[in-house]
Amino acid sequence: MRPLPTLAYGLLALPLAFAALPLYVHVPAFYANVTGLDLGLLGGILLLARLLDAGIDPWLGWLADRVSRRRMVALSLLPFGLGFVALLNPPVEHAAPWLLASLLLTYAGFSAATVAYQAWGAAVGNDAPERTRLVASREAFGLLGVLVAAALPALLAAALNDGIARLAWVLPVLLVLAGGVTLARVGEGDPRVAVSSALLPALRAVLRDTAFRRLLLVFICNGFAAAIPATLFLFFVADILQAESASGPLLAAYFLAGAASLPLWLKLSTRIGRPRAWLLAMGLAMLAFACAGLLGPGDVALFAVVCVASGLALGADLALPAALAADLGERQGRSGACFGVWNFFAKLNLALAAGIALPLLGVFDYRPGSDQGQTALILAYALLPLLFKALAAILLWRWRNSLEVES
């Protein structure tokens, strides 16, 4: 049997994550600054698009259990690339409907590719250690893609928004190169046949698994804690630290720390178990959020330390829960449906973060680029994530012994 194509499998994550950074971090501030959309309207559009996107993930997961996952990935890349180019090149007029339409097209391709890609990895891996290595490879290349997306705007243009717009033209090249290697080098795998051919029974079967439900609840609380600062990051750097030009290097430091920490978390998880390693990462993240709430104008160096600390915790967030979910999905023979549900809640977190945080800041008179409502911004960026991260840690500690699956 030929060696497991770990690196070839992980490579496709680079363009997927490259686009995810602008989608979930840059777009709110980009459209607020470039098109002048009201924060309430902007938050509403993001909420609607992300809810619609999340709603199709369970169906996509069910579909991924019944078709060729390699072919599903390949067919999804075209609408994904076209939508992304449109998203970052908005017209002067009618920006709101353009934003909604381009988001829906981008999300449709991105979601189909991501769900099929995750289920594909679960099928290619033969046991828990192999699936953990595949997930780690995928997340390592994903972090590399995010690093490239974080660094490029400053290299492509003097103004941040111009650099973000030019990112759109880089993605199609990355999709052709990385997608070509992954599709050529990685086989279909040996997926188990799903027990039910109907969507709702398959989803009910996934959710009947007590261990999966528990893991999912921890994942939801932890994910919401990460989604809020992701949505508000650029606003925080620009208006609290008053260092907009530092946003790219700070993002790069965050994701570089996440990439560097992956081997550490993998090694630690083999010693103490994945749930306990994830718990340690949550503690580090809570410390970082608490420190972020104490910062003010000019504290860029201190915030860089916060970014590195939270980035170290990010490595565990990316690799460990997804590996646990892959094991649980393969145990049922429904890894596609499992990741469809998983991604639904991941995107629901992002939808609620934008749909709640941005309008709430508008209610408290926060205005980007001014000193209005900055206390509300600090509380939303640091305190809310701290509370949800603490809740996730409590639940994970309670259920830590029931989430591992023996191969």
Residue 3: the pLDDT is 46
Q: How far apart are CA 336 and CA 67, in angstroms?
A: 10
And the tokens for 125? 């891996």
Q: Which amino acid is at 206?
A: V
Residue 146: the pLDDT is 84
Residue 195: the pLDDT is 47
pLDDT tens-digit map of 267-315? 999 899 899 999 999 999 999 999 999 999 999 999 999 999 999 999 8
DSSP-assigned states of every residue in 79-141: HHHHHHHHHTS--SS-HHHHHHHHHHHHHHHHHHHHHHHHHHHHHH--SHHHHHHHHHHHHHH
SS3 string, 351-373, reads HHHHHHHHHHHHHCCCCCCCCCC
Handedness of CA 358, 81, 60, 125 (dihedral sign): negative
Residue 100 predicted with pLDDT over 80: yes
What are the extents of the domains in the chain? Answer: 6-189+199-398
Q: Find where tokens 């934008």 sit.
A: 354
Determine the average pLDDT of the residues in 200-216: 84
Is CATH 1.20.1250.20 the classification given to domain 6-189+199-398? yes
Q: Count, in order, helices (H) and strands (E) of the chain.
A: 17, 0
Closest CA to 244 of 257, 231, 233, 255: 233
Q: How far apart are CA 241 and CA 246, in angstroms?
A: 9
pLDDT tens-digit map of 125-168? 666 677 778 878 888 898 889 889 888 888 888 888 889 899 99
Determine the average pLDDT of the residues in 314-337: 81
Distances (CA, A) of 127 to 213, 235, 273: 22, 43, 16
Residue 197 predicted with pLDDT over 60: no
Residue 193: the pLDDT is 46
And the tokens for 31? 């459209």
Four-point Cα dihedral 263, 381, 54, 115, nearest 10: -10
Q: Which amino acid is at 368?
A: P
pLDDT band for position 191 (cuts 50, 70, 90): low
And the tokens for 280? 């340690």
Residue 218: the pLDDT is 95
Q: What b-and-e string marks burial along 214-249, b requiring 16 or more CB atoms within 10 Å of the CB?
A: bbbbbbbbbbbbbbbbbbbbbbbbbbbbebbebbbb
- Least confidently predicted of 7-16, 318-327, 349-358: 349-358
Residue 373 predicted with pLDDT over 60: yes
DSSP-assigned states of every residue in 21-54: HIIIIIHHHHHHHHT---HHHHHHHHHHHHHHHH
